[in-house]
Amino acid sequence: MKNEWWKNAVIYQVYPKSFYDTNADGIGDLPGIDAKLDYLKELGIDAIWISPCYLSPQIDNGYDIADYRKIDPMFGENSDMIKLIDDAHKLGIKIIMDMVANHTSDKSSWFEESRKSRDNYFSDFYIWKDPKADGSEPNNWGSNFGGSAWTYDETRKQYYLHYYGKQQPDLNWENPKVRQAIYDVMRYWKAHGVDGWRMDVITSISKNQKFPDNDNPHHLKYVVGNQDNGPRMHEFIHEMNQEVLKPFDMMSVGEAPSSKSKDARLLVDPKREELNMIFTFEHMHVDRKPGDVNGRWAIQPMDVVQLKKTLADWQYNLDGHGWNALYFENHDRARTPSRWGNDQDYRYESATAFATVLHGLKGTPFIYQGEEIGMTNPKFELSDYEDIELKTNYQKLVEQEKTISSSNFLKAARKISRDNARTPMQWDNTKNAGFTQGKPWFKVNPNYRDLNVAADIKSSKSVFKYYKDLIKLRHRNPILEKGNFELLLPEDKSIFAYSREWNGEKWLVIANLSDTKQQVELLKDYSGYKDILGNYASDNEESILRPYEAKILKNM
């Protein structure tokens, strides 16, 4: 029997740089995660996904790996990782590492060798192309971090491909040696006890070998797009499954930026032996103007109807065909109370309302560090931000193409930029939020004095306690894992409601995702049901939901 532990699990993501610093260098580290294992055990999570902590020049905070087999000294030693895995296992917590298999750092010895000549062992580890006759790039592909996706190398007199920064060259998955090299890394960490993998932009690994220009409706110099679900993607992922995931029984969750639920069915259908789960981006686009030249920086108020539609579409389409990964926050997303809720008047209520609708769904919920205490976006100035994605897109959109004003860009950054989630974890109200005794690598959100783990746990409105209850519900009630899902009130602009049903049991999960009181007739149909969880202490008039009120009801 396959051990599908992840189906009843809640997984916690640690962004190590910002989690907890034990040696006062201002940077979170592996001993810091170890030191907080009891905290995570108390929360009740089953596994920790650790964002990359391998040797890296940190151009993209570790998503640019120079040596997959070595822990970066800033995070500790390999022995710290091994100790962390052992200590976590002692507490019954599994460890998921982050595999960045689409690209490496340009400081990887693989790339350093590859760029030396056209005929060494590593020459074809990356994607090299000759310039066009006029010396320009092989095609119009744009990098996610601005500019061309191609950079010219003086030694080889060729361009190499990079979907992200120029310091993040894409690996050539057409080369079987590359694929084996990656599988080997996965075996290496398995030998040290790792339980599974989160796979960075795994849907980008297969490139269209004709390298055609992208469509260019906005007449740009370089166009970002068509990076995902390439011709051999399924073949490569299946091979990885057969070579390492299956034989070593490792869990897998792939990042799948442009996949729709019908693509997901191919990626996660157990019969196909590819991945266990994928992270969709679709539901995270409900506050983006579709088709806008400014991409994700073109924000609009979030659309609750669309959010429900998208999440329900994934619930229905994967039912019987694969497993969902459920998330609202991670290191690339903003804080939900600030982005979609109300972080001023209803921080506790909106944090817990969104948590309720997410954790009630069928799938494996992921919690991002700080989400469990309702951390919020810092309202930074442009000069405070660190992220390469933000900086390069500012240059491109504001300075070069001038498609968005600086003030609108800043407005968008305060809502959706990745840095919103990367400020240090707020542990207590001492200096630097108890994150470090030194100077933090990134500014702490000034609201740490009131918003921190120590204060939250003591509060009568504790987000942590609410998450703890949600996790317990999942562990104790098979209906959350197995129950049928049905979306209710699909057209309601404020209410997110659905039922789950299993074995004669029926639950209603319902939340008001607005900051005004809502009359909900539907609740009358559930008048005989018993409240099993809710984010308001006092009772209410029947069939009214207060701002961001959420509850789970159960038939008797």
Q: Which residues of the chain form contacts with Ca ion (CB under 5 A)?
A: 21, 23, 25, 27, 29
Q: Considering CB under 6 A, how many residues would be counted as binding ligand GLC?
A: 9
62: alpha, beta or left? (left if phi > 0; alpha if psi -120 to 50): left
Using CB atoms, what's the residue nearest to Ca ion? 29
User: Applying CB under 6 A, which of residues 6, 15, 19, 63 lies at the interface with ligand GLC?
Assistant: 63
Token pair for residue 145? 């971090």
The one of ligand GLC, Ca ion, none whose footprint includes residue 492, by CB under 5 to 8 A per kind, is: none
The one of Ca ion, ligand GLC, none whose footprint includes residue 60, by CB under 5 to 8 A per kind, is: ligand GLC
Give the whole-angstrom CA distance, residue 406 versus residue 422.
22
One-letter amino acid for residue 38 of the chain: D
List, in order, residues 6 or more apart from 384 with CB less than 8 Å away: 378, 443
- Is residue 409 close enough to count as binding ligand GLC by CB under 6 A? no
CB 542 to Ca ion: min, Å: 53
- Is residue 371 close enough to count as binding ligand GLC by CB under 6 A? no
Determine contact, residues 371/385, Cβ cutoff 8 Å: no
Determine contact, residues 109/62, Cβ cutoff 8 Å: no
CB 58 to ligand GLC: min, Å: 12
CB 421 to ligand GLC: min, Å: 10
Give the whole-angstrom CA distance, residue 290 versus residue 269.
29
Query: How far does CA 172 lie from the centroid of its chain?
Result: 24
Q: Decide whether 106 or 332 has the Cβ nearer to ligand GLC.
A: 332
Q: Decide whether 48 or 513 has the Cβ nearer to ligand GLC.
A: 48
Q: Decide whether 225 or 247 has the Cβ nearer to ligand GLC.
A: 225
CB 505 to Ca ion: min, Å: 47
User: Which DSSP string do the residues of 139-207 spell out, in sequence order?
Assistant: S-BBPTTSSBSEEEETTTTEEEE-SS-TTSPBB-TTSHHHHHHHHHHHHHHHHTT--EEEETTGGGSS-
- Is residue 419 close enough to count as binding ligand GLC by CB under 6 A? no
The one of ligand GLC, Ca ion, none whose footprint includes residue 164, by CB under 5 to 8 A per kind, is: ligand GLC
Q: Decide whether 296 or 347 has the Cβ nearer to ligand GLC.
A: 296
User: Applying CB under 6 A, which of residues 21, 60, 170, 456 lies at the interface with ligand GLC?
Assistant: 60
CB 554 to ligand GLC: min, Å: 37
- Is residue 349 close enough to count as binding ligand GLC by CB under 6 A? no
Let me know the angle formed at the C-alpha of 511 by 549 and 371, rounded to the nearest 5 degrees.
80
CB 462 to ligand GLC: min, Å: 29
The one of Ca ion, ligand GLC, none whose footprint includes residue 100, by CB under 5 to 8 A per kind, is: ligand GLC
Q: Is 71 helix (H, G, I), strand (E, B) or coil?
A: strand
Let me know the angle formed at the C-alpha of 328 by 308 and 435, rounded to the nearest 5 degrees.
160
- Is residue 329 close enough to count as binding ligand GLC by CB under 6 A? no
Q: What is the dihedral of CA 238, 240, 242, 244, to 10 degrees?
A: -160
Kindly give the interhelix angle for 233-240 and 176-191, rounded to the nearest 10 degrees: 30
- Is residue 332 close enough to count as binding ligand GLC by CB under 6 A? yes
User: Applying CB under 6 A, which of residues 66, 81, 100, 470 lies at the interface with ligand GLC?
Assistant: 100
Instruction: List the interface residues with ligand GLC, window 171-230 (CB under 6 A).
Output: 200-201
Q: Which residues on adjacent β-strands are paired with residue 196?
A: 96, 251
Hey, which residues are catalytic here?
200, 255
One-letter amino acid for residue 448 of the chain: Y
User: Applying CB under 6 A, which of residues 29, 106, 195, 255 lies at the interface with ligand GLC?
Assistant: 255
The one of Ca ion, ligand GLC, none whose footprint includes residue 526, by CB under 5 to 8 A per kind, is: none
Give the whole-angstrom CA distance, residue 482 versus residue 308.
20
Give the whole-angstrom CA distance, residue 4 versus residue 7.
6
Q: What is the dihedral of CA 49, 278, 299, 377, to 10 degrees?
A: -10
CB 171 to ligand GLC: min, Å: 12
Q: Decide whether 28 or 165 has the Cβ nearer to Ca ion.
A: 28
CB 25 to ligand GLC: min, Å: 22
Q: Enter the DSSP assignment of 397.
A: I
Query: How far does CA 396 lie from the centroid of its chain?
Result: 24
Token pair for residue 543? 């069939």
Using CB atoms, what's the residue nearest to ligand GLC? 63
Q: Where are the beta strands (DSSP E) in 38-138?
A: 47-50, 54-55, 67-71, 94-99, 128-129
The one of ligand GLC, Ca ion, none whose footprint includes residue 23, by CB under 5 to 8 A per kind, is: Ca ion
Residues at the interface with ligand GLC (CB under 6 A) = 60, 63, 100, 164, 200-201, 255, 331-332
